[in-house]
Amino acid sequence: MSVPSVGRTVETLAEERANPPFDVRKLSIIQHGSEKDLLLKEKFMLELARDPIFYLGDIHDLTKDELRERTFEKVGSLVYHVTNESIDDFQKRMQVIGLCDPGFWTRFGVHYGLFLGAIRSGATPNQMSYWMEKGVISCQGMYGCFGMTELAHGSNVAGLETTATFDEQADQFVIHTPHIGATKWWIGGAAQTATHCAVFAQLVIKGKKHGTKTFIVPLRNIKTLELLPGINIGDIGKKMGRDGIDNGYIQFTNVRIPRAYMLMKHSQVSREGHVTEPALQQLTYGALLSGRTAMVSDAADTAKKSLTVAVRYAAVRRQFKSSAEADMETQILDYPIHQRRLMPLLAQAVAFGFTSLEMQRLYETTSSALESLEPGDENLDDVINQLKTTHATSAGLKAFCTWACLQTIDTSRQACGGHGYSSYNGFASMYSDFAVHCTWEGDNTILALQSGRFLIQAYQEVVKGQKQSGGTAYMNNIEQVLKGKCSDKEELDTLEGIDKGWSTVAAHAVKKAAEDYEQCLKSGQSREQAFEVCSQVRFVAASVHTSGFVFRQFRAAVERVEAGAERDHLELLCKFYGLWQMEEKAAFFLRSGWLTGELLDHVQARVSEHCASTRKFAIPLIDSFAISDHILNSPIGCHDGDVYERYFDLVRRNNPQLAEHKYSDKILRFIHRAPEEMEDFEGEIDLDSELEEMAEEREEAEKEAAEAKSKQETKEDK
Amino acid sequence: MSVPSVGRTVETLAEERANPPFDVRKLSIIQHGSEKDLLLKEKFMLELARDPIFYLGDIHDLTKDELRERTFEKVGSLVYHVTNESIDDFQKRMQVIGLCDPGFWTRFGVHYGLFLGAIRSGATPNQMSYWMEKGVISCQGMYGCFGMTELAHGSNVAGLETTATFDEQADQFVIHTPHIGATKWWIGGAAQTATHCAVFAQLVIKGKKHGTKTFIVPLRNIKTLELLPGINIGDIGKKMGRDGIDNGYIQFTNVRIPRAYMLMKHSQVSREGHVTEPALQQLTYGALLSGRTAMVSDAADTAKKSLTVAVRYAAVRRQFKSSAEADMETQILDYPIHQRRLMPLLAQAVAFGFTSLEMQRLYETTSSALESLEPGDENLDDVINQLKTTHATSAGLKAFCTWACLQTIDTSRQACGGHGYSSYNGFASMYSDFAVHCTWEGDNTILALQSGRFLIQAYQEVVKGQKQSGGTAYMNNIEQVLKGKCSDKEELDTLEGIDKGWSTVAAHAVKKAAEDYEQCLKSGQSREQAFEVCSQVRFVAASVHTSGFVFRQFRAAVERVEAGAERDHLELLCKFYGLWQMEEKAAFFLRSGWLTGELLDHVQARVSEHCASTRKFAIPLIDSFAISDHILNSPIGCHDGDVYERYFDLVRRNNPQLAEHKYSDKILRFIHRAPEEMEDFEGEIDLDSELEEMAEEREEAEKEAAEAKSKQETKEDK
């Protein structure tokens, strides 16, 4: 007799784990950067799983208001660590928390990342001490929010319309919202929590605008949380996701603050209203890097999270028998098409993981170079170049990694069939929470274009003979690189060969963008116009370049690993990623001549083979991602494979069966209504004449409107 | 002085509409199939907008329970029409309602589409009368649900495990859930509403299984809604979307029903337990077509809905000045990259609209052919062929159109920046409600493979000289078609030229799939194995074929329109769609040799030009989609362009400012906590040794586990 479909799910996962072809622990350590980092993550995960305030089983059934209250309570649980842990360790803690509860991550980050970050990077030492005394570090006596975005302006910070007008007599700034479009909008923490706001506003002195500066503006009475005079704050309400944070809007009506509440590390306003601007505007960009760097690692982690669920479930879910004699149905992970859906994404998630480690390293190097920079330093140019490169790299990675992760979440959901649509399996909230990463801190499309602009400039430098380093080094010897061609199938089986392919093809894409751009300049367009006209080719260049960049980070990481089974399997995944992306962007490989049609067929066949071979170690690989059941919060993805019992239990626990059902009387009234309840009218509806009348009325109205318009015009002509 | 960014949004939209290059009304009629259909839609939209129960302004802030209650109340409002309107008109009404409230559409559809549909297609005339007397048509005395899916089985209907065992002595069936995996799952309407269920169960007679049949099983006391003996029903709770419907699970414990409650139009069980099977199993497939056909038109409509919002908003949203002197900032719709994001999707949505009309026509023709079929009819083969074609076409279209629509919704959301993330602008619910279309009534990937299987068969027929008609007719003269090449740029500017390109390229993709498949057969694989191994090439063939199919439907529709500005603009959009899809799937065009690299460059340049020229008439085109503000339910997409005021008002209305804020005391307690509240402990945390200990414990545990395992194995060996 055949075994029931739900039997043996636990045994199935155990079998999948029985003989891993590598040491799972070792592979995990490699992916986490070091054993210490992995242990730290495990420590944090354990603490979270045991902290009652981080219980996640009921999270999908909380109302927005309940969720906000619970989310705020978590602040108290975390604040102890922020004041007692090294920044490095605390950042790793936050990375784990971001994966567990993105809404809380945002809520906590609004004060500690954005508000405190604004003060740290913008305040003079004296100002810093002042706000520290007020309690900014430990959230004692204040809670901050970050007032950048306005209703009418997002990406365009220079275009913000809130004004900060200097009143010399009073030595104060007057913060004002001139019209509805300048209303501060989306301000996290504003609706219910924040007592202070770091407000981005146009500095106005004696009628002259001096650009956007940052001002600390008190919002609420810290004893009662009542709004201060001139402050209008409202709740922005329901969002696609991250409802744990209380986003709000703020309107200022002639709100006065002392002059010293403008952050004056970079620009200063003197007692007499003189403005001093910083020597190097670029150096203030540094602040953007941190958020983007965090988003790249969040993209890698979240992709791994969603795939952990989808791949484990695919291993235990059985559907259709391969033959009538078969004992059990086939694991859906054994279907080639299911492997095609998930395995390339698995390779990609691993690639993103290594890329995010490199991005983190780049960020740290650049940040410390910036911090140690003294006025007049001789390595100023180097630092600025480094900043530019890091900036462009983070922009491109943030865009393409968050897009790819969002797609991964939805593909994972679909791969779980109907059960992916249940909130309790976690994909719905994973998607809706993650989706905002594609928009905030720089819309992805805009960021991709920035990366493309940087690539054009790099190309121009290369053509002039300037050597590139870092992410654009592949363009050195550009003429040789552009002439590259894949020699044979064997080359496609080596990391070096695949790398060459990406270099040639990315170089072609960048060249196309640069040449189109120069063509525009020659035809008399301004630089800005030319960049606009070339936006699509710029976008494409950034896209192809980024795939190559990610491959290269993965390759470099693999080559740093000591020889052994772990390295061998990572190398397989790296080739898989490189070839799959080749297939995805095949047109560029054909167009540039790097691949012939026959070789492309070979690439496609190899990708299918990689899907099949990766499937064999998919479960141990997933295990090496080391994401706890608590964080997965998805019964169909649980570690032990007991998916149906857990799923059924969770659904039952959250939907008690004996609870009263509020509108059963309405249902009864409806199904037992008497036929005569609806009054009969004489005759039938004549739908045709009803529609005819509608059409006539419509025509009449249009005629009248046209006549009125022509009368109006005649009048105006006179 | 410059105009505030939010000024003139109304004027801007009016200007966009001032001189449409075509008659908007005429274009609208063409897209809706006829003036009558457009008028009907307008009539329905007006009725909905005025019906208080269909008020949508507060919909995003309702809890799941409130939403379910409201959704049920709508049933009463609709039931009048279902009994008084022609089926055709009522279906059009439901199409509009589906766009307005997908959760309600499902809830209503569960009884009227699925339950009643199951009875209609499965009941004998006597059975039909019986259930009509019970009140199935007007929902009086009963409310039905549809019990197909089980916890462990979705796509695989033949694998369902609920049993219906015939008890000859009692002349009854015993319905039973043998284990947790056979629990009916996702059953819409079951949790709170349904009194009866059409249960799919394995017919078992004298220990022998006879396959899946349908049984009507009473679930609840119709006077009290209490569960009947042996019925266990629970609520499945929160879902990604469509929370207005009460999905539930059902477990049957030896529930007895009369023999006559098995639907016996196709298969019969006699008093003595003899089973008669239908002559033609395929004829029962017809039922699947209706849902898929509806989903194709829902995909077209929903894509148009999301684009209406994104394109209108892009017209009034201004960001960055093109020069310091500019009066106002630039409309984001004027940026080439923003056009690239939205304009191709606009052309695609129009293409899907025409394709869905054709799909509807196909469905109706096939349905009526099926219905009028008599046993022994001489045109039986023709009808079966027609059914197969329609089936494969609907499968491919359902898959690729719903995927594309889901992507369109998210791209539209992202194109609206941060405001796309607010629930009040509608994208969040549009996405989460629509997402299930990719899964239910056939997982998209599985359906795409079915389409691919059909294409392989069509190719095999063509090679044998059998002529194809309908959607695969392009494969006739296959040798000529495969040799096709684009002659020059001019050819790419004609509908015929583009059409030829798609024929050649789709034929190549299908040929590749068919040849790989035959290769597998030759190597000794069974047909099923071969189809599995070739699933990726099958999938690709279906994808390329479907793009070509959609283009061809669009082209045919254009060519039926009388000459004039409307036809000219539709022709532009049709070329745009064809070329853009060529760019998207460029690798296939290069690989097959239909395009050279230079011609591909031309295609890309033309797509950019089409983006710019479509932008010019984007607003009148959007208007021709004729979707009311009520249905859009998105202030940033409103018809009059007064987006910021409406958005602000809606946010305020749903989030009253003076409402009490429940946890302010917790916030105050937190920010005013005394430093000494947390007890100080002596000394610092030594993180390093803590982690070291963790690592040691871990190693120890692993060692023990390994030892235990090896002991166990030694024992087993003995």
CATH of the domain at A247: 2.40.110.10
Q: In the structure, what pLDDT confidence band is assigned to residue A286 with cuts at 50, 70 and 90?
A: low
Do A694 and B195 make contact, defined as CB atoms within 8 angstroms?
A: no
Do A43 and B418 make contact, defined as CB atoms within 8 angstroms?
A: no
- ipTM value for the complex: 0.96
Least Cα separation, residue A377 to chain B (angstroms): 34
The number of C-beta contacts closer than 8 angstroms across A and B is 374
| Whether residues A408 and A494 fall in one domain | yes
Q: CA distances (Å), A509 to each of A505, A506, B39, B160, B409, in order? A: 6, 5, 50, 52, 29
How far apart, in whole angstroms, are the C-alpha atoms of residue A347 and residue B230? 48
Kindly report the pTM of this predicted structure.
Answer: 0.96
Least Cα separation, residue B417 to chain A (angstroms): 6
Q: Check whether B143 has a pLDDT greater than 60.
A: yes
Q: Check whether A680 has a pLDDT greater than 60.
A: no
Instruction: For residue B188, say whether it is annotated as part of any ligand binding site.
Output: yes
Helices (DSSP H) in B416-443: which residue ranges? 427-434
**Closest partner CB to B159 (pick from A319, A438, A590):** A319
Residue B250 lies in a domain: yes
Q: Is A441 a catalytic residue?
A: yes
User: B233: which strand partners?
Assistant: B250
Q: Check whether B316 has a pLDDT greater than 60.
A: yes
Do A5 and B152 make contact, defined as CB atoms within 8 angstroms?
A: yes
Q: Check whether B213 has a pLDDT greater than 90.
A: yes
Q: Check whether A2 has a pLDDT greater than 50.
A: no
Do B406 and A410 make contact, defined as CB atoms within 8 angstroms?
A: yes
Residue A492 lies in a domain: yes
Into how many domains does chain B fold? Answer: 3
Predicted local distance difference test score (pLDDT) of residue A158:
87
Residue A67 lies in a domain: no
| Whether residues B255 and B308 fall in one domain | no
Q: CA distances (Å), A54 to each of A78, A101, A668, B250, B380, in order? A: 11, 8, 41, 32, 63
Task: Give chain A positions within 8 Å (CB) of B673.
Answer: 140
| Last residue in a domain, options B412, B438, B464 | B438
Q: Which of B597, B337, B596 is nearest to A512 (CA)?
A: B597
How far apart, in whole angstroms, are the C-alpha atoms of residue A337 and residue A608? 9
Average pLDDT over residues A414-441: 97
User: A217: which strand partners?
Assistant: A197
| Whether residues A240 and A362 fall in one domain | no
HSE toward the beta carbon, residue B560, CA cutoff 13 A: 13
Do A417 and B655 make contact, defined as CB atoms within 8 angstroms?
A: no
The predicted-structure confidence for A229-263, as pLDDT tens digits, reads as follows 999 999 999 999 999 999 999 999 999 999 999 99
Do A235 and B135 make contact, defined as CB atoms within 8 angstroms?
A: no
Instruction: Kindly identify which residue of chain A lies nearest to residue B699, measuring between CA atoms.
Output: A25
Least Cα separation, residue A99 to chain B (angstroms): 19
Tell me which of B662 and B520 has the higher pLDDT. Answer: B520
Rounded to an integer, what is the distance from CA A568 to the centroid of its chain? 31
Q: Which of B412, B244, B316 is nearest to B647 (CA)?
A: B316
Q: In the structure, what pLDDT confidence band is assigned to residue A288 with cuts at 50, 70 and 90?
A: confident
Contacts of A63 (CB under 8 A, 6+ apart): B63
DSSP assignment, residue B711? H
| Whether residues A286 and A276 fall in one domain | no
| Whether residues B607 and B460 fall in one domain | yes
**Closest partner CB to B418 (pick from A5, A186, A224):** A186
Residue B634 lies in a domain: no
Do B536 and A608 make contact, defined as CB atoms within 8 angstroms?
A: yes
**Mean predicted lDDT score pLDDT of chain B:** 93
Mutate to test the interface with B, among A667, A672, A678, A696 (most CBs of B within 10 A): A667
Structure-token pair, residue A458: 């790099």
Q: CA distances (Å), A143 to each of A72, A109, A184, B354, in order? A: 12, 11, 17, 55
Burial class (CB in 10 A: 0-12, 13-18, 19+), B374: exposed
Task: Give chain B positions within 8 Å (CB) of A590.
Answer: 587, 590-591, 597
Instruction: For residue A149, say whether it is annotated as part of any ligand binding site.
Output: yes
**Active-site choice (B16, B150, B441, B566):** B441
| Whether residues B561 and B526 fall in one domain | yes
Predicted local distance difference test score (pLDDT) of residue B477:
94
| Whether residues A361 and A341 fall in one domain | yes
| Whether residues B398 and B338 fall in one domain | yes
The predicted-structure confidence for B329-376, as pLDDT tens digits, reads as follows 999 999 999 999 999 999 999 999 999 999 999 999 998 888 787 767
Structure-token pair, residue B86: 């022609």
Structure-token pair, residue B414: 């992202």
| Whether residues A525 and A429 fall in one domain | yes
Instruction: Kindly identify which residue of chain B lies nearest to residue A59, measuring between CA atoms.
Output: B238
| Whether residues A476 and A431 fall in one domain | yes
Q: In the structure, what pLDDT confidence band is assigned to residue A511 with cuts at 50, 70 and 90?
A: very high
The predicted-structure confidence for A51-73, as pLDDT tens digits, reads as follows 999 999 999 999 999 999 999 99
Contacts of B701 (CB under 8 A, 6+ apart): none
The predicted-structure confidence for A345-373, as pLDDT tens digits, reads as follows 999 999 999 999 999 999 999 988 887 87
Task: Give chain A positions within 8 Å (CB) of B432.
Answer: 428, 432
| Last residue in a domain, options B583, B616, B649 | B616
The predicted-structure confidence for A120-136, as pLDDT tens digits, reads as follows 989 999 999 999 999 99
Rounded to an integer, what is the distance from CA A526 to the centroid of its chain? 33
Q: Check whether B529 has a pLDDT greater than 70.
A: yes
Q: Which of B36, B25, B30, B41 is nearest to B574 (CA)?
A: B30
Predicted local distance difference test score (pLDDT) of residue A690:
87
| Whether residues B190 and B262 fall in one domain | yes
Residue B3 lies in a domain: no
Look at residue A104 and give its three-state secondary structure: helix
| Last residue in a domain, options B385, B409, B438 | B438
Average pLDDT over residues A530-538: 96
Do A439 and B420 make contact, defined as CB atoms within 8 angstroms?
A: yes
Q: Check whether B558 has a pLDDT greater than 60.
A: yes
Give CA angle at B406 (B386, A295), nearest 5°: 150
Q: Which domain does A518 fall in, by range?
A: 1-33+282-321+331-655
Least Cα separation, residue B657 to chain A (angstroms): 6
CATH of the domain at B500: 1.20.140.10
Task: Give chain A positions within 8 Å (CB) of B435.
Answer: 410, 413, 421
Q: In the structure, what pLDDT confidence band is assigned to residue A320 with cuts at 50, 70 and 90?
A: confident
Q: Which of B635, B642, B11, B618 is nearest to B327 (CA)?
A: B11
Residue B14 lies in a domain: yes
Q: In the structure, what pLDDT confidence band is assigned to residue B690 with cuts at 50, 70 and 90?
A: confident
The predicted-structure confidence for B395-416, as pLDDT tens digits, reads as follows 999 999 999 999 999 999 999 9
Residue A326 lies in a domain: no
**Closest partner CB to B143 (pick from A7, A235, A671):** A671
Least Cα separation, residue A685 to chain B (angstroms): 9
Q: Check whether A17 has a pLDDT greater than 50.
A: yes
Kindly state the percentage of chain B with pLDDT values over 90: 81
Q: Check whether B2 has a pLDDT greater than 50.
A: no
Tell me which of A460 and B278 has the higher pLDDT. Answer: A460
Average pLDDT over residues A654-672: 90
The predicted-structure confidence for A25-54, as pLDDT tens digits, reads as follows 999 999 999 999 999 999 999 999 999 999
Q: In the structure, what pLDDT confidence band is assigned to residue A597 with cuts at 50, 70 and 90?
A: very high
Average pLDDT over residues A313-327: 87
Least Cα separation, residue A344 to chain B (angstroms): 13
**Mean predicted lDDT score pLDDT of chain A:** 93
| Whether residues B146 and B249 fall in one domain | yes
**Closest partner CB to B423 (pick from A239, A423, A661):** A239
Do B587 and A608 make contact, defined as CB atoms within 8 angstroms?
A: no
Query: Is the CB of residue A546 less than 8 Å from the CB of residue A396?
Result: yes
Residue B674 lies in a domain: no
Do A84 and B139 make contact, defined as CB atoms within 8 angstroms?
A: no
Predicted local distance difference test score (pLDDT) of residue A381:
85
Instruction: Kindly identify which residue of chain B lies nearest to residue A599, measuring between CA atoms.
Output: B591
